[in-house]
Amino acid sequence: MTSLYCPVDILAFGAHPDDVELSCAGTLLHAHALGQRTAVVDCTRGEMASRGTAEERDAESAAASTLLGLTARRNLDLGDGRLMDTQEFRDAVAAEIRRFQPRLILCPAPGDRHPDHDAAGRLVQAAAFYARMKTRVLRDAETGEPLAAHSPGLVLVYPMHELERPSLVIDISPYWPQKMEIVRTYRSQFLNPMPDDYTFIGTRDYLHAIEARGMFYGNMIQTAYGEPFVARSPLRIADLLNDLAGGKAGL
Ligand SMILES: [Zn+2]
């Protein structure tokens, strides 16, 4: 093992530096509280956003990483607004999967209305295949060292703008205040005044929308707040009673 590697339990990908916080902050806080190692890889620096410079967003992202208790965070800087599902980008993402050797990967759900979110979801799902192929040589971009193949145990996608029926919902009720504190770390995105003609992200209502979404998914599992995930393949369960029946699912 060399310093090329940084093994973690959970690796969460986002297209932009606030995607993971908006969608998975409670899940990552819960994992951290359980002693699990977590990391985030952002595909772009969000430099094409309506507000906030790339430098501001780097600083916000660093502050959020500390509050999340991440082991590491990296940014691939693949170009905000230009993220595409290409071979070159698939390899860049697959190299990160090999670097972090996660047991579980989280990524945006393909099909989101934002093209970068859609592309990030497709890239990560394809990269998870490439990461495990021993015949596929992937090198660290800085050193040129080859990275050993790694097979993640599971990839879950997280819905963003689109509503999807989740395969599972994580109860994040105890972490809700922390999640919103972390979201507010992105001051350039959520707390700056907006032009009168701008009516979506950045308005006060957007923070309310985040709360409403958390309550909507929490209600599905009869709890205050939840974060949804979708499995693209059936989940393998070892113990039906202990793994599922404690959650009151479907009652
Ligand atoms: Zn985004």
Q: Per residue in 14-24, pLDDT tens?
A: 999 999 999 99
Centre of ligand 1 from the C-alpha of residue 144, in Å: 30
Distance CA 11, CA 102 (A): 6
Question: Band of the pLDDT at 198, cuts 50, 70, 90?
Answer: low
Q: Mean pLDDT throughout 156-173?
A: 94
Centre of ligand 1 from the C-alpha of residue 99, in Å: 23
Quote the percentage of the chain above a pLDDT of 70.
91
At residue 164, the pLDDT reads: 87
Centre of ligand 1 from the C-alpha of residue 189, in Å: 11
pLDDT above 70: residue 86: yes
CA-based torsion, 128, 10, 39, 228: positive or negative = positive
Look at residues 39, 49, 50, 51 and name the one whose alpha carbon lies nearest to residue 14. 39
Ion ligand 1 residues within 5 Å by Cβ? 15-16, 19
- For residue 10, list its beta bridge partners: 38, 104
Centre of ligand 1 from the C-alpha of residue 238, in Å: 35
Please, are residues 158 and 107 in contact by the beta-carbon 8 Å criterion? yes
Please, are residues 13 and 120 in contact by the beta-carbon 8 Å criterion? yes
Please, are residues 61 and 53 in contact by the beta-carbon 8 Å criterion? no
Rounded to 5 degrees, φ, ψ at 166 are: -75, 155
Rounded to 5 degrees, φ, ψ at 26 are: -65, -40
At residue 91, the pLDDT reads: 97
- For residue 52, list its beta bridge partners: none
pLDDT above 50: residue 1: no
Helix (H/G/I), strand (E/B), else coil: 106: strand
Centre of ligand 1 from the C-alpha of residue 109, in Å: 12
At residue 213, the pLDDT reads: 95
Centre of ligand 1 from the C-alpha of residue 23, in Å: 10
CATH number of 10-245: 3.40.50.10320
Distance CA 57, CA 216 (A): 29
Look at residues 211, 216, 160 and name the one whose alpha carbon lies nearest to residue 18. 160
Distance CA 16, CA 83 (A): 10
Q: Which helix (H) or strand (E) holds 143?
A: none
Distance CA 33, CA 138 (A): 33
Centre of ligand 1 from the C-alpha of residue 235, in Å: 27
Q: Per residue in 45-76, pLDDT tens?
A: 988 876 778 888 889 999 999 999 999 999 99
Quote the percentage of the chain above a pLDDT of 90.
74
The residues, ordered by sequence, that sit 6+ positions from 64 with a Cβ below 8 Å of its Cβ are: 17, 18, 21, 182, 185, 186
Centre of ligand 1 from the C-alpha of residue 87, in Å: 22
Q: Per residue in 201-250, pLDDT tens?
A: 555 578 888 999 999 999 999 999 999 999 988 998 888 888 777 655 55
At residue 244, the pLDDT reads: 78
Centre of ligand 1 from the C-alpha of residue 73, in Å: 16
Residue 146 DSSP class? B
For the chain, the average pLDDT equals 91
CA-based torsion, 221, 225, 230, 234: positive or negative = negative
Centre of ligand 1 from the C-alpha of residue 149, in Å: 29
Centre of ligand 1 from the C-alpha of residue 36, in Å: 25
Q: Which helix (H) or strand (E) holds 162?
A: none
Question: Band of the pLDDT at 192, cuts 50, 70, 90?
Answer: low
Please, are residues 80 and 44 in contact by the beta-carbon 8 Å criterion? yes
Q: Per residue in 126-139, pLDDT tens?
A: 999 999 999 999 99
Centre of ligand 1 from the C-alpha of residue 49, in Å: 9
Boundaries of every domain in the chain: 10-245
Centre of ligand 1 from the C-alpha of residue 12, in Å: 13
Centre of ligand 1 from the C-alpha of residue 98, in Å: 24
Tokens of 64: 């959020």
